[in-house]
Amino acid sequence: GENVEQHPSTLSVQEGDSAVIKCTYSDSASNYFPWYKQELGKRPQLIIDIRSNVGEKKDQRIAVTLNKTAKHFSLHITETQPEDSAVYFCAASKRGFNKFYFGSGTKLNVKP
């Protein structure tokens, strides 16, 4: 089965700096990679996703990149703000296979 590894487990940045979270996956058939943000006590919420036919996707201050050859993908947050503080999860799936494999999460702390 798929194995998704996520690093780092914790990340502390100063407000305004950039944050990068990295994930690797093992199954080359995986072709869909969503990212979730989970604030304390709340549900994971989808913030951005990327499909395997795209190398990069951007939405305002967040961007994801995908390297299919190396089987890794990353989340980039620029100009971080205190409200970006949360746990972020990457995930990998094969479309139509009804199963998402999650990374172990990264706790991001943005210091004001």
Partner 1 sequence: DTAVSQTPKYLVTQMGNDKSIKCEQNLGHDTMYWYKQDSKKFLKIMFSYNNKELIINETVPNRFSPKSPDKAHLNLHINSLELGDSAVYFCASSSRVAAFFGQGTRLTVV
Q: Which is nearer to partner 1, 36 or 80 (CB)?
A: 36
| E strand or H helix at 60 | none
Q: Which is nearer to partner 1, 62 or 105 (CB)?
A: 105
Q: Which is nearer to partner 1, 45 or 67 (CB)?
A: 45
| E strand or H helix at 20 | strand 19-25
Q: Where along the sequence are the contacts to partner 1 (CB under 8 A)?
A: 32, 34, 36, 38, 42-46, 49, 87, 89, 91, 95-96, 98-102, 104-105, 107
Distance in Å, CB of 36 to partner 1, minimum:
8
Distance in Å, CB of 112 to partner 1, minimum:
23
The four Cα atoms 38, 42, 48, 51 give a dihedral, to 10 degrees, of 90
Q: What is the DSSP string of 25-54?
A: ES-TT--EEEEEEE-TTS--EEEEEEETT-
Q: Which is nearer to partner 1, 21 or 91 (CB)?
A: 91
